[in-house]
Amino acid sequence: MVFYFSGTGNTRWVARQIAEAVGEELLYIPDLIREERYEFRVVTGERIGFCFPTHGWQPPRIVREFIGRLELRGHEDAFCWALTTCGDNMGECMAILNRDLARKGLRADTLYSVVMPESYVCLPFMYTDSDEKAARKITGARRQLSEIIATVRDRRKGVIALEKGATPRLYSYVIGGYFNKRMITDRKFQVDAEVCIKCGKCANVCPVDNIAGTPPQWLHNGRCTCCLACYHHCPVHAINYGSITRRRGQYYFKGR
């Protein structure tokens, strides 16, 4: 089984390639939460995988909360692996994940990060990649996936290939700690009602059902992950996060 979360599609693409290649069931964490499905039995030979984007150099809150409620039976001898996608680096994201997994008697012994096109644009120094840079990242990810698939298929333990960055502890525990505590909010999302075409796409792509109506209204119910799926999928750029994104690009993974 492969548990995954994705906002703009990078992780969905990676997780799907791996799950299909190794013959494991792909399980979307937001759907499992909607269904209140947290209990699973691991059958003999089944692999356990976790795939998610890096949010502020940490696992996304929705992933951590799901793991906190996860109950696995028969997992003691199962091969467990994890993968995170990131725009450039992921800090100590996997160390944080493994601490969460340890509370469930699990440990991901094989760890990967996959650099994918940047999608977080809500800070002064963060922008989407140029088309050329995004294409290079996807090409590199395709090459890396061949190795990852072989590793997961063969259940190779101890393989660690992570882009931690220059100061991973600073990224994850100081900057990321503040980011994930203070900046994961839907309060700054706004829509230009005169530009909005009322297509409803933003509500459809929201992984936590946090948008209602047309023009969209954010529900302010504490569930927003700031994945920016609503912003990036808007076909007319009517959605913004405050004023900072008004002149910034949009991106979501358009391939299979």
Q: Where does a domain end: 180, 201, 218?
A: 180
| Average pLDDT score over residue span 241-256 | 92
Statement to judge: residues 12 and 135 lie in one domain: yes
Statement to judge: residues 212 and 175 lie in one domain: no
Statement to judge: residues 53 and 25 lie in one domain: yes
Statement to judge: residues 236 and 160 lie in one domain: no
Show Cβ contacts of residue 112 under 8 Å, excluding neighbours closer than 6 positions.
81, 82, 83, 84, 144, 148, 151, 159, 160, 161, 162
- As a whole number of angstroms, the distance between CA 233 and CA 220 comes to 20
CA angle 206, 212, 217 (to 5 degrees): 100
Statement to judge: residues 119 and 220 lie in one domain: no
pLDDT beyond 70 at 256: no
Q: Where does a domain end: 144, 162, 180?
A: 180
| Average pLDDT score over residue span 9-24 | 98
Statement to judge: residues 166 and 191 lie in one domain: no
Statement to judge: residues 149 and 199 lie in one domain: no
Statement to judge: residues 99 and 49 lie in one domain: yes
Fill in the DSSP letter of residue 56.
T
Statement to judge: residues 193 and 117 lie in one domain: no
Statement to judge: residues 168 and 190 lie in one domain: no
Question: What pLDDT, on a 0 to 100 scale, did the predictor assign at position 255?
Answer: 76
Q: Where does a domain end: 180, 214, 249?
A: 180
- The per-residue pLDDT of the chain, averaged, comes to 97
DSSP annotation string for 85-120: EESS--TTHHHHHHHHHHTTT----EEEEEE-----
Q: CA 142 → CA 81, 92, 125, distances in Å?
A: 19, 24, 27
Q: How confident is the model at residue 22 (pLDDT cuts 50, 70, 90)?
A: very high
Range of the domain at 95: 2-180
Q: pTM here?
A: 0.96
Residue 246 located in a structural domain: no
Q: Which secondary structure element, helix H or strand E, spans residue 30, and what is its range?
A: helix 29-34
Statement to judge: residues 63 and 30 lie in one domain: yes
Statement to judge: residues 220 and 98 lie in one domain: no
Residue 255 located in a structural domain: no
- As a whole number of angstroms, the distance between CA 143 and CA 128 comes to 22
pLDDT in tens, 170-205: 999 999 999 999 999 999 999 999 999 999 999 999
Residue 254 located in a structural domain: no
Say if CB 216 and CB 256 are below 8 A apart. Answer: no
Residue 202 phi/psi, 5-degree rounding, is -60, -45
Reply yes or no: is the peptide bond before residue 59 cis, omega within 30 of 0. no
Q: CA 176 → CA 29, 119, 251, distances in Å?
A: 22, 16, 22
DSSP annotation string for 182-248: HS--STTEEE-TTT-----HHHHH-TT--EETTTTEE--SS------HHHHH-TT--EEETTTTTT-
We report the CATH number of the domain holding residue 203 as 3.30.70.20
Instruction: Tell whether the torsion through CA atoms of 157, 163, 168 and 173 is positive or negative.
Output: negative
Residue 97 located in a structural domain: yes
pLDDT beyond 70 at 12: yes
How many domains would you assign to the chain?
Answer: 2
Closest by CA position to 184, among listed 38, 14, 59: 59
